[in-house]
Structure 1
Amino acid sequence: MVQPPADRVVQEPRQHTNGKLNRARMLACALEIIDREGIEKLSMRRLARALEYDPMSLYRYAANKAALLDGIAETVLSRLTVDSADPDWAAQLRAVARDYRRLALTHPNVVPLLVTRPLATPLALRPRGTLRPLEAILTLLTRAGFSSAEALHIYRALFGLLHGHVLNELQELVDNPDETDDLLRLGLHRLPIGEFPLLRGLASTLATYDGAAELERGLDILLTGLTTTLVPHP
């Protein structure tokens, strides 16, 4: 293989350079590229170069880039654990939420595939692997005594919270990290105080953002509301 000039060398995922090509290996390599460089840098040609295979050989496992992205979403969501036999449904949903946040923070560049991409695809046409957490949570909740419709409502409420949370947490950017004053660190001093007095006044709160604690607070509110308004039927 001809190497590019020294100043253009890209470090390829070493663990993918030997062995027989299969779908799992291809998706693992694609996920690593996205983790390192972002979705926009992934292409069939880029992936083939990392795997040291001809690009045409990849189409046996993914018909196009869209199918490849769906496979990556399935790969990540397959790591989301749902114990549908847990007798404490609220505790299990809390565990699922924490696990989902962990996956999102581990693979932040994949979050658009998990949160926004499914919105463009009808439910029944989404990759089956991405629907398994839904089926598992519906099983958990119907076993707990909720009707199927109530279980779906709870699932939607939970993942609505999770999607909003991970997007917010990943966007908590600091403008000037070396500043000691919270207003300056966040760049809020640029906002006219006459128009945004409350937002500017939250500088210290915003600067001490704790994603884990924020998620727990959101779950407290959500699960308390659900247990108050929806009662499982024995």
Structure 2
Amino acid sequence: MPTETSDPRGGSRRRSPNAPRGPITRETVLHAALDLIDRDGVDALSMRRLAEAVDRDPMVIYRHLPNKAAVLDGIAELVLAELDVDASDPDWANRLRVVARDFRRLALRHPRAIPLLVTRPIGIPLGSQPLSVTKPLEGVLALLTRAGFSDTDALHVYRALFAYLYGHVLNELQEVVERPDETDDVLRLGLYRLPLADFPTVRRLAPVLAAYDGAAELERGMDILLTGLTTAMHTPGRGSATLAPPPRNRR
């Protein structure tokens, strides 16, 4: 239960039972911010609430993070630090699948923070971004170039992989069942609100939509991605794996 502590400005403030003890660091503040977002969502985050969470005056927070934008950038950094890419794995396809599974688990641990990974930080040169944000890029590029991919194709694969992963986890987090105990899939998903004349296919596919399995969906998407990569690759005489360009439509 929260307790009262003295405030140097007069009066008292409520102390969080989970408030850290000892010196406050940037990492301490970011962990408290992530806990707050995991519990209450991004909109609930404020410098005042963050100060309460660490049981300090707000000015202490500003010494480590100048504003809320810096806190949000730091949370994206903190979450991505949980993702590790083993670039030494000789089986590049299996390693990309492991990365995909780990990324999904990360998203399920921090569902309310995941949108920050898509939007933060923006407008910052690659070399100026936090190391943990750039670390997955380094890992995947090292993995693929060691496997024989050209530098250009390794970057294409990285971008395709994370475009898919971000899209997948955001989609999975939006798969909310309105009435879990309802046996009728149309009612279960709230699809009865959609006019049948305008959404006949969505209404017809209600059983398929209701059977959504995030883990299975991820694996299916990775099957398609990895099969496409393997099929598109050819090996020139010098042995470097190169992605064959797709056929272009003729005018």
Common fold, TM-score beyond 0.5? yes
Q: Shift of the alpha carbon at 1:191?
A: 2.0
Identical amino acids, percent of aligned pairs: 60
The match for 1:65 among 64, 68, 92 is 68
Letter in 1 for 2:88: A
Q: Distance in 2 between matches of 1:95 and 1:59?
A: 38
5 Å-filtered alignment, 1:175-214, equals: 175-214=178-217
Asked if structure 1 preserves the Cα contact closer than 8 Å seen for 2:145 and 2:151, the reply is yes
What runs of 5+ residues in structure 2 fail to find an aligned partner? 7-12, 242-251
Asked if structure 1 preserves the Cα contact closer than 8 Å seen for 2:92 and 2:144, the reply is yes
What runs of 5+ residues in structure 1 fail to find an aligned partner? 4-8
TM-score computed with the length of structure 2 as normaliser? 0.84
The match for 1:12 among 12, 16, 19 is 16
Q: Shift of the alpha carbon at 1:173?
A: 1.3
Q: Does 1:126 align with 2:137?
A: no
Number of equivalenced pairs: 228
Q: Distance in 1 between matches of 2:204 and 2:145?
A: 45
User: 1:158 maps to which residue?
Assistant: 161
Q: Does 1:92 align with 2:95?
A: yes
Q: Shift of the alpha carbon at 1:2?
A: 5.7
Please provide the CA RMSD for this pair: 2.1
Q: Which has the higher helix share?
A: 1
Give a deviation string over 1:99-143, Cα, whole Å, max 9, x none.
Answer: 000000110011111123345545444323211111111111111
SS at match of 1:59: helix
Q: Distance in 2 between matches of 1:13 and 1:28?
A: 15
Letter in 2 for 1:18: R
Q: Shift of the alpha carbon at 1:18?
A: 1.4
Structure 1 residues 181, 83: CA separation in 2 closer, same or farther (over 3 Å shift)? same
Q: Does 1:104 align with 2:74?
A: no
Q: Does 1:24 align with 2:24?
A: no
Q: Shift of the alpha carbon at 1:68?
A: 1.2
Structure 1 residues 10, 143: CA separation in 2 closer, same or farther (over 3 Å shift)? farther
Greater C-alpha radius of gyration? 2
Letter in 2 for 1:64: N
Q: Distance in 1 between matches of 2:121 and 2:214?
A: 24
Q: Shift of the alpha carbon at 1:177?
A: 2.4
The match for 1:81 among 63, 84, 88 is 84
Q: Does 1:116 align with 2:119?
A: yes
Structure 1 residues 210, 127: CA separation in 2 closer, same or farther (over 3 Å shift)? same
